[in-house]
């Protein structure tokens, strides 16, 4: 957008304004001094004129006396010259004016005319040697000259009075004028300085702010406020463009950051998927591998059960029947979700087997309310945990023990607990137990002591929560493994 | 609420407006003051306007209040009629006669358009007046006339009536019989014919066969000292005097002072001439019995109008009487 008020125009206007103030002050000073000069000239003009007349009158008289004495033609010409000069001084002064002074000057001009005529009369009488005539004429001329001189005095006195009055008025008036001049100059200076300051400020402030903003942005901080410039000049346009640019960059950066986050999440998801796939693959392989033997083993067990029935070995038949059921339960696909109810069923088989297997009595209590039994759950979770308790919890404990598998709702969560009263764990043992098994673990294939970590990993992956399993245990006080999931995340079948 | 930048902006704008107002006001005032002298009287020749005529006014003095008023009247009329008036006063009182004659001569040589003159010496001035009139310059006499000359006109008080008023005042002041002394001022003394008319007026007003009479006449000069001296002389030499009649303002005040000094305010009634604050006080307090008040301002105005009329070929009567007024302590 083309600015309406360009810096050039603003500068021009500003300079014109400053020049106007200065010019007004200067023109005023010139006017005042011219006026004063004119006044002084007017006041002294009459005095100068009167002096000239008096001087010229004296010269004329001198010339006349010389002529009368010597009667040289040169002297006559001198008289003529001086009278002409005298008359020239008062040329055009015959108009009456209202001023006394000018009226008297007019009188003088007429008297000079008369004097000139009388001088001519003297010269003429002298030329024809009319002694009486030129003596009379000379006396008359002298009288007229005395009138002129007397009038010159009066004019000078009148002039002096007028000058005194004028001077009094002028000095009185100019005192006030000087006071106002002082105000004028002071206000002109203050006004100019203030306007210069304001203008400079208005011109540089946005530029300075722009520079600061640019510096801030160059440091990577796009969260600065927009530059507020109200002017509509190039700086205003630049500021608005700068604001637009800053906001655009900020938007792009935000978009890029968002994109980067999405990509990061995507990459993490990919890694997770890869891990999952890897785990699946291994599980599948393990499953396939295990499916080979279980079928044979399962058939052999069934044959064994029939054989035991035929031989009437009922306990053997029951044991082998339970073992066969447990196998059947366990050979299902590991990654197919089942319910808590399925888990409990498997645990029953496992408990029956334990009773036959171990001479020591282990009591396994299963107490999960019915409303929690239909929750979708990964398979083979509780059995490894119970097995873990029996193998590790009661390893150094004589006289058997108790394992309680419970479920309840607490504080908006569903909590499953596998608790034993075995030898417990040290705090140092808890953390490694909770560390999920990784497919990169070298000992993964060995499957030694990894039941717990396998369970943890599968639970985390299934519910997509890292804090799903916690262990509470103290040495000698038993161990409780807690599986907590928010109620809203529990999926009922 | 306003924030700081807004207050700052308002403050700065107010300061600029204030400075601009002071700046313009100062400029305006300065220019006004500089230009003002054009309206303050005639201080500069350039302020003087061309006038239609050039008249010369010759007065014996300008220090007397009477003549000041007369000059005021002339000036006002001159301004109104756009006429240039040149006031001339003999250089000093001792050369009153020669000075007046000289001025008359200058007026004639300067070819002024008219002369208004207070005649101080009729006899001496008559030829000069005649010469001036013959040379085509009208001459108007103001208050003091030269009836025997060829003057173009007279503007002033009616001398006969003035005399009658004086006579009547004398009778009123001393009904039993006025023994009057006249302090005849220099202005009056040489105007033989006019003074005769005044005397005639006085006499006609005094009832025939009465004991009223003018005991003595003393001539006073222009100025303060002379009248005081003459008043003393009257009181010393003419103890019978019970009325003193003065013919000028200064004489009246001086005589009043002398009468008071002699403590004769009750015996001697003072009849004054002219009017000012001092005389007003005298009338009120009773140490001046009465006074003849002329109207010098009107005399001046009408005199100038007469000169203008004479220059414009209009009819101007030979006598233009300006009424006088008699003031006493009662009528004031």
Contact call for residues A232 and A2 (beta carbons, < 8 A): no
What DSSP line would sit under A279-338, residue for residue? HHHHHHHHHHHHHHHHHHHHHHHHHHHHHHHHTT-HHHHHHHHHHHHHHHHHTS-TTS-E
Please count the CA atoms within 13 angstroms of the CA of A338 that sit on its side-chain side: 17
Q: What is the mean pLDDT of residues B3-23?
A: 85
Contact call for residues A400 and A381 (beta carbons, < 8 A): no
Share of chain B above pLDDT 90, in %: 30
Give the pLDDT score at A288: 55
- Put simply, the answer to whether A187 touches B33 (Cβ < 8 Å) is no
Preferred mutation among B13, B24, B28, B106 to probe A, highest tally of A CBs within 10 A? B106
User: Residues of B with CB below 8 A from A31's CB?
Assistant: 31, 34
Q: What is the mean pLDDT of residues A93-119?
A: 87
For residue B85, the distance in angstroms to the closest alpha carbon of chain A comes to 7
Q: A22 to chain B: nearest residue by CA?
A: B23
Interface check for B20 against chain A (CB to CB < 8 A): the answer is yes
Give the pLDDT score at B113: 94
Pick the more confident residue, A446 or B142: B142
For residue B132, the distance in angstroms to the closest alpha carbon of chain A comes to 15
Residue among A42, A114, A169 whose CB faces B45 most closely: A42
In SS3 terms, B222-266 reads as CCCHHHHHHHHHHHHHCCCCCEEEECCHHHHHHHHHHHHHCCCCC
Q: Which two tokens stand for residue A46?
A: 């009459």
Average pLDDT taken over every residue of chain B: 85
Give the neighbor-by-neighbor strand order of the sheet with A413-420: A362-367, A401-410, A413-420, A479-486, A469-473
Pick the more confident residue, A313 or A444: A313
Interface check for B27 against chain A (CB to CB < 8 A): the answer is yes
- Put simply, the answer to whether B54 touches A151 (Cβ < 8 Å) is no
Least Cα distance to A455 among A372, A343, A366, A360 occurs for A343
Q: B19 to chain A: nearest residue by CA?
A: A187
- Put simply, the answer to whether B84 touches A28 (Cβ < 8 Å) is no
Question: Between A and B, how many CB-CB pairs are < 8 A?
Answer: 133
pLDDT-derived band at B152 (thresholds 50, 70, 90) equals very high
Lowest-confidence range among A90-104, A205-219, A444-458? A444-458
3-state secondary structure of B286: coil
Q: What is the mean pLDDT of residues B54-63?
A: 90
Q: B23 to chain A: nearest residue by CA?
A: A184
**DSSP assignment, residue B12?**
H
Give the pLDDT score at B71: 95
Q: What is the mean pLDDT of residues B260-280?
A: 88
- Put simply, the answer to whether B33 touches A173 (Cβ < 8 Å) is yes
Q: What is the maximum alpha-carbon separation in chain B? A: 108
Tell me the pairing of strands A413-420 and A479-486: antiparallel
In angstroms, the CA B82 to CA B84 distance is 7
**DSSP assignment, residue B91?**
S
pLDDT of A217 higher than 90: no
User: Residues of A with CB below 8 A from B34's CB?
Assistant: 31-32, 35, 173, 177
Residue A218 makes CB contacts below 8 A (sequence gap 6+) with none
Burial degree of A458 (CB within 10 A; 0-12, 13-18, 19+): buried
Q: What is the dihedral of CA A448, A454, A455, A458, to 10 degrees?
A: -170
In angstroms, the CA A37 to CA A74 distance is 42
b/e map B302-318, b = 16+ CB within 10 Å: bbbbbbbbbbeeeebee
Give the pLDDT score at A41: 80
Q: What is the mean pLDDT of residues A230-254?
A: 85
| Structural fold of domain A337-493 | Heat Shock Protein 90 (3.30.565)
In angstroms, the CA A192 to CA B19 distance is 10
Contact call for residues B149 and B129 (beta carbons, < 8 A): yes
**DSSP assignment, residue A90?**
T
- Put simply, the answer to whether A97 touches B84 (Cβ < 8 Å) is yes
pLDDT of A417 higher than 80: yes
Q: Which two tokens stand for residue A460?
A: 């985390």
- Put simply, the answer to whether B109 touches A183 (Cβ < 8 Å) is no
User: Residues of B with CB below 8 A from A162's CB?
Assistant: 42-43
Share of chain B above pLDDT 70, in %: 92
Contact call for residues B294 and B64 (beta carbons, < 8 A): no
Domains of chain B in start order, with CATH, are: 49-156+296-322 (3.40.50.2300), 159-293 (3.40.50.2300)
Give the pLDDT score at B37: 62
Least Cα distance to A401 among A431, A364, A446, A432 occurs for A364
User: Residues of B with CB below 8 A from A157's CB?
Assistant: none
Lowest-confidence range among A259-268, A329-338, B68-77, B229-238? A329-338
Q: What is the mean pLDDT of residues B130-151?
A: 92
Residue B170 makes CB contacts below 8 A (sequence gap 6+) with B178, B180, B202, B206, B212, B243, B245, B271
Residue among A24, A110, A111 whose CB faces B27 most closely: A24
Q: What is the dihedral of CA A158, A159, A160, A166, to 10 degrees?
A: 110
- Put simply, the answer to whether B45 touches A102 (Cβ < 8 Å) is yes
Give the pLDDT score at B43: 61
Contact call for residues B121 and B193 (beta carbons, < 8 A): no
Residue A255 burial (CB count, 10 A): 10
- Put simply, the answer to whether A183 touches B84 (Cβ < 8 Å) is no
What DSSP line would sit under B24-40, residue for residue? HHHHHHHHHHHHHGGGS
3-state secondary structure of A359: coil
For residue B191, the distance in angstroms to the closest alpha carbon of chain A comes to 27
Can you point out the beta strands (E) in B21-98?
A: 54-58, 84-88
Pick the more confident residue, B190 or A35: A35
Pick the more confident residue, B237 or A99: B237
Give the pLDDT score at B47: 61
For residue B292, the distance in angstroms to the closest alpha carbon of chain A comes to 33
Residue among B19, B25, B42 whose CB faces A194 most closely: B19
For residue A64, the distance in angstroms to the closest alpha carbon of chain B comes to 21
Q: Where are the domains of chain A?
A: 7-213, 337-493
User: Residues of B with CB below 8 A from A103's CB?
Assistant: 54, 84-86
Residue A327 burial (CB count, 10 A): 18
Contact call for residues B179 and B243 (beta carbons, < 8 A): yes
Whose tokens are 């890292």? That residue is A466
Contact call for residues B251 and B227 (beta carbons, < 8 A): yes
Share of chain A above pLDDT 70, in %: 91
Give the pLDDT score at A444: 47
Contact call for residues A176 and B33 (beta carbons, < 8 A): yes
Preferred mutation among A99, A150, A188 to probe B, highest tally of B CBs within 10 A? A99
- Put simply, the answer to whether B106 touches A190 (Cβ < 8 Å) is no
For residue B45, the distance in angstroms to the closest alpha carbon of chain A comes to 7
Interface check for B39 against chain A (CB to CB < 8 A): the answer is no
pTM assigned to the model: 0.59
Residue among A24, A100, A191 whose CB faces B19 most closely: A191
In angstroms, the CA A339 to CA A342 distance is 5
Q: Which two tokens stand for residue B125?
A: 């001035």
pLDDT-derived band at B191 (thresholds 50, 70, 90) equals low
Least Cα distance to B12 among A156, A443, A198, A472 occurs for A198
Phi, psi of B111 (to 5 degrees): 50, 50
Interface check for B9 against chain A (CB to CB < 8 A): the answer is no
Interface check for B54 against chain A (CB to CB < 8 A): the answer is yes
Measured between alpha carbons, how far is residue A387 from residues A321, A402, A420, A443, B256 in Å?
20, 12, 11, 20, 158
- Put simply, the answer to whether A96 touches B52 (Cβ < 8 Å) is yes
Strand partners, A420: A403, A479
- Put simply, the answer to whether B87 touches A176 (Cβ < 8 Å) is no
For residue A252, the distance in angstroms to the closest alpha carbon of chain B comes to 34
3-state secondary structure of B197: helix
Give the pLDDT score at A58: 93
- Put simply, the answer to whether A114 touches B112 (Cβ < 8 Å) is no
- Which parts of A358-425 fold into alpha helices (H)? 382-388
Give the pLDDT score at B16: 87
Interface check for B79 against chain A (CB to CB < 8 A): the answer is yes
For residue A238, the distance in angstroms to the closest alpha carbon of chain B comes to 23
Contact call for residues B322 and B159 (beta carbons, < 8 A): no
Q: Is the ipTM of this complex over 0.85?
A: no
pLDDT of B266 higher than 80: yes
Listed by number, the residues of chain B in 111-140 with a beta carbon closer than 8 Å to a beta carbon of chain A are 111-113
Interface check for B29 against chain A (CB to CB < 8 A): the answer is yes
Give the pLDDT score at A343: 85
- Put simply, the answer to whether A111 touches B106 (Cβ < 8 Å) is yes
Give the pLDDT score at B207: 65
Average pLDDT taken over every residue of chain A: 83
- Put simply, the answer to whether A187 touches B44 (Cβ < 8 Å) is no
Q: What is the mean pLDDT of residues B39-65?
A: 77
User: Residues of B with CB below 8 A from A190's CB?
Assistant: 19
For residue B247, the distance in angstroms to the closest alpha carbon of chain A comes to 31
In angstroms, the CA A34 to CA B93 distance is 44
Least Cα distance to B28 among B40, B39, B38, B20 occurs for B20
pLDDT-derived band at A261 (thresholds 50, 70, 90) equals very high
User: Residues of A with CB below 8 A from B20's CB?
Assistant: 187, 191
**DSSP assignment, residue A393?**
I
**DSSP assignment, residue A97?**
B
- Put simply, the answer to whether A103 touches B54 (Cβ < 8 Å) is yes
- Put simply, the answer to whether B109 touches A111 (Cβ < 8 Å) is yes
Residue among A99, A151, A166 whose CB faces B48 most closely: A99
Share of chain A above pLDDT 90, in %: 18
User: Residues of A with CB below 8 A from B111's CB?
Assistant: 110
Q: A114 to chain B: nearest residue by CA?
A: B109
- Put simply, the answer to whether A99 touches B31 (Cβ < 8 Å) is no
Residue among B30, B40, B110 whose CB faces A107 most closely: B110
Domain A7-213 sits in CATH 3.40.50.300 = no
pLDDT in tens, A51-105: 999 999 999 999 999 988 888 888 889 999 999 999 898 877 777 777 888 889 8
Give the pLDDT score at A415: 93
Preferred mutation among B41, B54, B99, B101 to probe A, highest tally of A CBs within 10 A? B54
């Amino acid at each position: 957008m083309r600015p309406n008020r360009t810096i050039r125009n603003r500068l021009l206007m500003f300079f014109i304004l400053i020049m106007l103030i200065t010019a007004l002050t200067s023109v005023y000073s010139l006017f005042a001094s011219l006026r004063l000069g004119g006044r002084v000239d007017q006041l002294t003009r009459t005095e100068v004129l009167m002096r000239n007349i008096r001087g010229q009158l004296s010269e004329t008289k001198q010339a006349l006396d010389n002529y009368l004495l010597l009667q040289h033609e040169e002297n006559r010409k001198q008289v003529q010259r001086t009278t002409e000069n005298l008359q020239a001084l008062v040329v055009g002064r015959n108009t009456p004016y209202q001023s006394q002074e000018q009226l008297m000057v007019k009188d003088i001009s007429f008297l000079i005319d008369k004097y000139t005529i009388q001088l001519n009369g003297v010269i003429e009488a002298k030329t024809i040697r009319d002694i009486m005539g030129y003596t009379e004429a000379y006396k008359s001329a002298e009288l007229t000259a005395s009138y002129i001189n007397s009038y010159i005095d009066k004019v000078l006195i009148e002039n002096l009075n007028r000058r005194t009055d004028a001077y009094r008025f002028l000095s009185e008036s100019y005192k006030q004028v000087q006071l106002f001049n002082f105000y004028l100059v002071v206000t002109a200076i203050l006004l100019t300085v203030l306007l210069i300051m304001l203008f400079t400020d208005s011109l540089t402030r946005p530029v300075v702010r722009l520079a600061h903003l640019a510096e801030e942005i160059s440091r990577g901080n796009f969260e600065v406020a927009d530059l507020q410039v109200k002017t509509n000049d190039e700086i205003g346009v630049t500021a608005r463009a700068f604001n637009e640019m800053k906001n655009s960059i900020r938007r792009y950066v935000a978009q890029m950051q968002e994109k980067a986050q999405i990509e990061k999440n995507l990459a993490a998801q990919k890694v997770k998927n890869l891990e999952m796939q890897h785990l699946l693959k291994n599980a599948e392989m393990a499953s396939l591998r295990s499916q080979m033997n279980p079928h044979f083993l399962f058939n052999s067990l069934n044959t064994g059960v029939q054989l035991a029935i035929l031989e009437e070995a009922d306990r053997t038949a029951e044991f082998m029947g339970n073992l066969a059921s447990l196998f059947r339960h366990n050979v299902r696909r590991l990654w197919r979700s089942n319910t808590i109810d399925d888990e409990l069923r498997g645990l029953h088989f496992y408990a029956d087997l334990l009773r036959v297997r171990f001479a020591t009595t282990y009591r396994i209590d299963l107490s999960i309310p019915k409303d929690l039994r239909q929750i979708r759950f990964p398979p083979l979770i509780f059995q490894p945990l119970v097995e873990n308790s029996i193998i590790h919890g009661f390893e150094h404990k004589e006289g058997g023990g108790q394992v309680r598998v419970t479920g309840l709702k607490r504080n908006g969560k569903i909590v499953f607990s596998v608790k034993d009263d075995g030898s417990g764990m040290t705090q140092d043992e808890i953390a490694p137990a909770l560390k999920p098994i990784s497919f990169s673990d070298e000992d993964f294939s060995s499957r030694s002591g990894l039941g717990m970590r396998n369970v943890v990993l599968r639970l985390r992956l299934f519910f997509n929560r890292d804090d799903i399993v916690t262990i509470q245990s103290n040495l000698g006080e038993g161990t409780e493994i807690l599986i907590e999931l928010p109620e809203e995340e529990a999926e009922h079948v | 609420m306003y924030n700081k930048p807004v207050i700052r902006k308002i403050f700065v704008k107010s300061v600029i407006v204030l400075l601009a107002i002071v700046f313009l006001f100062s400029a305006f005032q300065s220019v006004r003051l500089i230009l003002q002298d054009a309206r303050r009287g005639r201080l500069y020749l350039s302020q003087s306007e061309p006038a239609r005529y050039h008249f010369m006014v010759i007065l014996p003095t300008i220090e007397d209040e009477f003549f000041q008023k007369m000059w005021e009247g002339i000036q006002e009329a001159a301004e109104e009629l756009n006429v240039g008036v040149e006031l001339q006063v003999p250089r000093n009182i001792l050369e009153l006669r020669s000075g007046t004659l000289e001025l008359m001569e200058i007026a004639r040589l300067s070819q002024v358009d008219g002369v208004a003159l207070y005649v101080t010496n009729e006899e001496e001035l008559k030829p000069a007046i005649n010469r001036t009139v013959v040379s085509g310059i009208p001459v108007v006499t103001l208050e003091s006339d030269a009836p025997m000359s060829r003057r173009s006109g007279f503007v002033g008080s009616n001398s006969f009536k003035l005399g009658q008023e004086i006579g009547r005042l004398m009778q009123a002041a001393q009904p039993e019989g006025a023994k009057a002394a006249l302090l005849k001022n220099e202005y009056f003394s040489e105007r033989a014919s006019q003074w005769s008319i005044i005397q005639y007026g006085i006499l006609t007003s005094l009832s025939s066969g009465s004991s009223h009479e003018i005991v003595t006449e003393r001539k006073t000069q222009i100025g303060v000292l002379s009248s005081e001296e003459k008043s003393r002389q009257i009181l010393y030499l003419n103890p019978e005097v019970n009325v003193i009649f003065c013919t000028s303002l200064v004489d009246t005040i001086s005589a009043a002072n002398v009468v008071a000094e002699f403590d004769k305010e009750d015996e001697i009634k003072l009849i004054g001439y002219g009017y000012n604050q001092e005389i007003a006080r005298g009338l009120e307090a009773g140490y001046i019995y009465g006074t003849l008040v002329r109207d010098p301002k009107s005399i001046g105005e009408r005199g100038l109008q007469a000169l203008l009329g004479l220059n414009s070929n209009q009819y101007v009567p030979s006598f233009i009487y300006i009424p006088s007024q008699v003031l006493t302590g009662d009528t004031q």
